[in-house]
């Protein structure tokens, strides 16, 4: 029920972006045994935030740097929680820190940063260089360490210093709730802390270190988001109709993001359904970054494009970025409604 991305080097501390390809796996588990979709508020996740976060900052472009929680720090938190609970109930997620990078229907790789997420950050950065930042309702499906959303979050924080109370809504969705609380939210706090430090201190941000998540810091984080009109919420569980219903109670999303989300032919149709549903009725677009083909697993950009066209004849689809410098090529596909392009 599992496959590995076969890393050649020790990646236990996530020193570089994961870029290997999956090897053949057994058939995915039936949809009915996959994790049900669940909605989580920022306050619920903040209640379980660690008191200290060890991090390393990665440089993606000359002007874009993103701090991420270290994997060894996640491991230590899980071990401490297991000791406190006495029953090892959290231990299952450690599969993501061991030999298997993905275990179908249990853990979908969210603790690591994948290569295509960096491509997506670079593409978003190039867009903002041309058009400037905009206030948007943003969704990232299969967010994991959430590098693309972290870039947009940082851009939003910088922009709102001169814009009065913009309303910006970020929804982060990952298969595993544990990923959301162990890396997604800590990474958001790290990005906020970095920008807050850079705007208030003459000292440079340390590229590696530890952030003490004190009550004062937590209060300042929540207060700052509120004053800027920034909303964060979270969804865990498998893609499908249940998740689509949770994600679209009101207005459609302006921007939906996904990276390394189409590697499995059995789940790609579910991903496409959710993506199209959250954009329906609006003028927003989806950006999906992926390897052009996932050998041994079956997913490909070509198949994904054909699938979207078969599901929505009104979809406008185009490749907006390609990376071909080495190995298997990578692409970013934009999906929007034809009526919004007229």
For 261, the enclosing helix (H) or strand (E) is: none
87 Cβ neighbours under 8 A, 6+ residues apart:
none
pTM: 0.88
DSSP state of 107: B
Going from the C-alpha of 66 to that of each of 43, 51, 59, 109, 208, the distances in angstroms are 23, 20, 7, 19, 11
Sorted by where each starts, the structural domains of the chain and their CATH numbers stand as 38-46+113-204+217-337 (3.40.50.150)
Q: What are phi and psi of 89, to 5 degrees?
A: -65, -25
Write out residues in the chain with pLDDT < 70, as ranges.
Answer: 1-33, 83-109, 132, 160-166, 326, 338-342
Q: What is the pLDDT of residue 234?
A: 97
Single out the residue of 73, 35, 29 nearest to residue 54, CA to CA: 73
Q: For the stretch 190-204, what's the b/e string if a residue is b when 16 or more beta carbons lie within 10 angstroms of its beta carbon?
A: bbbbbbbeeeeeeee
User: Can you tell me whether residue 271 is helix, strand or coil?
Assistant: helix
Q: What is the pLDDT of residue 334?
A: 97
User: Can you tell me whether residue 276 is helix, strand or coil?
Assistant: helix
Q: Mind spelling out the 3-state secondary structure of 288-312? A: EEEECECCCCCCEHHHHHHHHHHHC
Cβ atoms 269, 28 nearer than 8 A: no
The beta strands (E) that lie in 42-196 are given as 52-61, 64-69, 102-103, 137-141, 168-174
Q: Could you report the per-residue pLDDT of 168-204, keeping only the tens digit for each?
A: 899 999 999 999 999 999 999 999 999 999 989 999 9
Q: For residues 167 and 231, what is the distance between their CA atoms, to the nearest angstrom?
A: 8
Q: Copy the structure tokens of residue 128.
A: 């903002």
Q: For residues 253 and 305, what is the distance between their CA atoms, to the nearest angstrom?
A: 20
Q: What is the pLDDT of residue 100?
A: 58
């Amino acid at each position: 029920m599992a496959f590995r991305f076969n890393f050649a080097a020790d990646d236990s501390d996530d020193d570089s972006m994961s870029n290997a390809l999956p090897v053949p796996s057994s058939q995915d588990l039936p949809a009915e045994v996959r994790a049900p979709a669940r909605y989580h508020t920022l306050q619920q996740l903040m209640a379980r935030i660690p008191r200290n976060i060890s991090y390393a900052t990665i440089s993606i472009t000359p002007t874009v740097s993103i701090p991420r929680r270290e994997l060894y720090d996640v491991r230590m938190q899980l071990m401490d929680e297991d000791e406190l609970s006495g029953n090892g109930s959290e231990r299952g997620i450690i599969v993501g820190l061991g030999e298997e990078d993905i275990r179908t229907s249990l853990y979908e790789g969210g603790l690591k940063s994948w290569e295509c997420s960096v491509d997506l950050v670079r593409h978003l950065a190039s867009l903002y260089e041309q058009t400037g930042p905009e206030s948007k309702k943003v969704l990232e499906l299969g967010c994991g360490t959430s590098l693309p959303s972290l870039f947009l979050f940082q851009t939003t924080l910088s922009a709102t210093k001169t814009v009065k109370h913009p309303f910006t809504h970020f929804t982060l969705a990952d298969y595993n709730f544990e990923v959301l609380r162990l890396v997604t939210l800590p990474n958001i706090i790290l990005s906020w802390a970095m920008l807050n430090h850079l705007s208030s201190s003459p000292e440079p941000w340390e590229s590696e270190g530890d952030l003490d998540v004190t009550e004062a810091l937590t209060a300042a984080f929540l207060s700052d988001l509120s004053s800027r009109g920034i909303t964060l919420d979270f969804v865990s569980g498998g893609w499908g109709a249940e998740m689509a219903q949770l994600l679209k109670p009101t207005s459609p999303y302006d921007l939906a993001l996904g990276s390394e989300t189409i590697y499995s032919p059995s789940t790609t149709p579910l991903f496409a359904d959710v993506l199209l549903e959250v954009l329906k009725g609006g003028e927003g677009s989806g950006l999906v970054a992926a390897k052009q083909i996932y050998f041994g697993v079956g997913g490909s950009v070509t198949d994904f494009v054909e699938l979207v066209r078969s599901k929505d004849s009104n979809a406008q689809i185009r490749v907006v970025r390609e990376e071909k410098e080495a190995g298997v090529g990578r692409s970013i596909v934009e999906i929007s409604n034809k009526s919004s392009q007229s």
